[in-house]
Amino acid sequence: MPIEKPWVILDQGDPARVEDLSAALGLSPVLANLLVQRGVTTPEEAKGFFNPSLEDLHDPFLLKDMDKAIDRISKAVEGREQIMIWGDYDVDGTSAVALMYSFLRRLGHENLMFYIPDRYKEGYGISKRGIDYAAAHGVTLVITLDCGIKAVEKVAYAREQGIDFIVTDHHLAGSELPDAVAVLDPKRPDCRYPFEELSGCGVGFKIAQAYCQRHGIAFSEIERLLDLVVISIASDIVPVTGENRILAYYGLERLNNNPNKGLASIINICGLEGHRISIDDIVFKIGPRINAAGRMRMGEGDEFSGGHAAVNLMIERDADAAGLFGAQIDEANTDRKSIDRTVTQEAHDFIESNPAMKRLKSTVIYNPKWMKGIVGIVASRLIETYYRPTVVLTMSNGFATGSARSVPGFDLYGAVESCADILENFGGHLYAAGLTMKPENVEEFTRRFNAYVEENITDALLTPMVEIDSKLLFSDITPEFRRDLLRFQPFGPGNVAPVFVTYGVSNRGDAKLVGAEREHLKADLVQREKPNTSIPAIAFQQPGHYEWVRSGRQVDVCYTVVENHFRGNVTPQLRVKDIKPAM
């Protein structure tokens, strides 16, 4: 029998406000309640929520050092200087590089190149190897995206080579900022920008916005870049609230209606043509393929190597060439999936064979043979099984290096930072981080990290639970309800897809296990109050519930409501989060 997760029904909205919104907006009470739960309490606020406006984007010059950055970029463009765009090798970094490269290229600047560090030879961020490469190619200005906030020594080294740096990042800053021409990061302590949660590509977009404002260029010139911004927002799992909601909303419009040639090729490969692409589609289909380019060893020093392939895909203007990049990246993603399944199983087997490790409140696991590019994925997979802060380490270039992931509510960055004195490098967010250390420090890091988690995490945070927005009857899921629910998108952190619970439902008689390993449960469900109405449901990775449902016994089910696209038909589907025997 599957392990039961606690179901927690969230506080409901104030009944008076819910009633007022329902009447004023013509929404069902259930959906009006969702608005109030999300802090939207007046018809005016609802209008802004349902109809994001690009006019509500913040003034980019509110970002600390933006004026300095635009001055230096303007000088470089006017002087036809050699500019290098430097970014991280993940989706956020490569999309940010593609955005800035495309923007400067559209201005007519020809002395332009980009650089993505080799994950296996250089690792994350700014490297001396890359700086030397820039110097050898006559670069006088480097613009970093999604990296560099801690690169104090590397930026100083670049200055010695006569290279100016503009650092743009969105990670937490260290105690000292790089001595760059400009350092743009909404999270730097002295920055008063109204929204801290921009993606790395989002910060790059603000530079393009500021440049356009300074030089009187129409906003439409950069609006075409929003498909890249939404790719970064979804893949980097930043909150889809505030300014990110506006950028994601219009980015999805662009992605669905007129994506760039490279993204169009990936959309085709994913089988999403004709489908209304959502944040989920980016997270589970588009993003992993782009990410695979930087994770896998795709070649040596050519356009198909590592993160360079991802950037080339996203800046390509020829459909046939874009299709070639897309095919190469899809092949890398297939290889990635095979390797991460193998490594995840190895990590799982190791933990299961170590009773003392299983009893801990965190996981730190090290195997020097594992591929560096997939340890972050493996960390996330292990959390799905053990649900606790997790660090997965391997060996690269003589150092133990890897990724850390957290459970909601626990400050993983603080746990890693508590071990800073034995780390060579680290950086990241509240719930995800990267770190590097000498191999001889792995044992001490493991001890201290586990001790920190033990002292600072609560049992509640170690218990996976399903948060439910409200109760719902199947009969409430009308075409009008589904239409209005779509207006709540884009969903993501800070505005998650609402979860509903329906009590007393049963299988119509066609429950089955599907998937390559029969790992998903599929059924048509009916509610006892409305036995003549059935709704298709899919429960991913929940084969343990099969016998309950197949038997026809009544169960309670919590789920999100999604659209299923098949052969041109769009029908409602329940994406099941959990199932319990009916009370």
Q: Whole-number mean pLDDT of the chain?
A: 92
Contact 293, 309 (CB under 8 A): yes
Q: What is the CATH number of domain 466-581?
A: 2.40.50.460
Q: Which pTM does this prediction carry?
A: 0.89
Give me the phi and psi of 466, to 5 degrees please. Answer: -105, 115
pLDDT tier for residue 303 given thresholds of 50, 70 and 90: very low
Mean pLDDT along residues 439-459 = 96
- Give CA–CA dist 57/249, Å, rounded: 12
Q: Long-range contacts: 10-18, Cβ < 8 Å, 24+?
A: 10/37, 10/467, 10/468, 10/469, 10/470, 11/37, 12/37, 12/470, 13/37, 14/41, 17/41
pLDDT at 301 over 70: no
CA 462 to mean position of chain CA atoms: 22
pLDDT at 253 over 60: yes
Amino acid at 75: K
56-217 CATH, one of 3.90.1640.30, 1.20.120.1230, 1.10.150.20, 3.40.50.850: 3.90.1640.30
> Residue 348: its pLDDT value, please?
95
**Alpha helices, DSSP H, located in 296-374:** 306-315, 319-352, 355-358
- pLDDT category of residue 299 using cuts at 50, 70 and 90: low
Q: What is the structure's pLDDT at 1?
A: 43
Q: CA–CA distance from 270 to each of 48, 329, 543 (Å)?
A: 32, 12, 25
SS3 409: coil
Paired with 425 in beta bridges are 436
Q: What is the mean pLDDT of residues 471-476?
A: 92
* pLDDT at position 100: 98
Indicate the SS3 state at residue 540: coil
Run of H or E residues at 435: strand 432-437
Query: Are 56-217 and 466-581 equal in CATH topology?
Result: no
pLDDT band at 568 (very low <50, low <70, confident <90, very high): low
State what percent of residues in the chain have pLDDT above 70.
96
Res. 304 pLDDT band, cuts 50 70 90: very low
Torsion angle of the four alpha carbons 18, 19, 23, 26, in this order, in degrees rounded to the nearest 10: 40
Cβ atoms of residues 471 and 504 within 8 Å = no
What's the fold here for domain 354-462? Diaminopimelate Epimerase; Chain A, domain 1 (3.10.310)
For 395-422, how does the pLDDT look when each residue is reduced to its tens digit (9 = 90+)?
988 999 999 999 989 999 999 999 999 9
579, two tokens: 């199932």
Residue 501 has pLDDT above 90, yes or no: yes
pLDDT of residue 530: 65
- pLDDT digits 0-9 by tens, 364-389: 999 999 998 889 999 999 998 899 99
Rounded Cα gap, residues 308 and 430, in angstroms = 28
Do residues 524 and 534 touch, judged by C-beta distance below 8 A? yes
Residue-level pLDDT at 305 = 57
Q: What is the pLDDT of residue 3?
A: 55
Q: What is the pLDDT of residues 18-57, one digit of tens each?
A: 999 999 999 999 999 999 999 999 999 999 999 999 999 9
**Torsion angle of the four alpha carbons 211, 204, 488, 46, in this order, in degrees rounded to the nearest 10:** -40
Sign of the C-alpha dihedral computed for residues 535, 558, 9 and 408 taken in this order: negative
Rounded-to-integer distance, Cα 265 and Cα 161, Å? 40
pLDDT for 121 equals 78
pLDDT at 133 over 90: yes
Instruction: Indicate the pLDDT class of residue 448, thresholds 50, 70 and 90.
Output: very high
- Give the bridge partners for 561, in sequence order: 574
Residue pair 200/232 in contact (Cβ under 8 Å)? The answer is yes
Average pLDDT for 554-574? 85
Residue 77 has pLDDT above 90, yes or no: yes
The domain segmentation of the chain, as residue ranges, is 56-217, 354-462, 466-581
* CA distance linking residue 582 with residue 372, whole number of Å: 45
Please, are residues 279 and 490 in contact by the beta-carbon 8 Å criterion?
yes
The dihedral built from the CA positions of residue 308, 310, 313 and 315, taken in this order, carries a sign that is negative
Residue 392: partners with Cβ closer than 8 Å, 6 or more residues away:
347, 363, 365, 366, 370, 375, 376, 378, 379, 382, 402, 403, 404
pLDDT tens by residue, 170-208: 998 888 999 999 999 999 999 999 999 999 999 999 999
- H/E element, 74: helix 66-78
pLDDT, average across residues 154-167:
96
